[in-house]
Amino acid sequence: MTRPANASSQTRTLLAQFADQPQAWQYGYELSKLTGLGSGTLYPTLARLTEQGLLESEWKPSLQPGRPPRHAYRLTSAGLEFARAQSAKAAKPSKSRSREAMA
């Protein structure tokens, strides 16, 4: 059974990075540097998003001879839609934040 899509701050950060270049294949190490997420958060999140159909993953051959292939990820069309929805939701002030601003 697949877990429902998670909208944690770490997931939103990762999805925002993918949404900047939705067709580009990105690697875990590169994503870790760009998002500041550690491997203990990043790789389980990548696996979950792939399982949910929001990311696709593929083994890419190394450009350097003798190096092993690397796992690459990119957004699916459903993933891009979800990323955009999360971005819009984050930009929209919640009722509690609106009340705080009035005080």
Tokens encoding 38: 């550690």
Counting other chains too, the contacts that 50-58 makes at CB distance below 8 Å and 24 or more residues apart are: 51/2, 51/3, 52/2, 52/3, 52/5, 53/78, 53/79, 54/5, 54/15, 54/78, 54/79, 54/82, 54/83, 55/18, 55/79, 58/25
Instruction: Give the start-to-end residue ranges of the domains of the chain.
Output: 9-91
State pLDDT tens for residues 54-87. 999 999 998 899 999 999 999 999 999 999 998 8
Q: Which CATH architecture has domain 9-91?
A: Orthogonal Bundle (1.10)
**Angle, helix 9-20 to helix 77-91, in steps of 10 degrees:** 120
The pTM is what? 0.80
State pLDDT tens for residues 28-39. 999 999 999 999
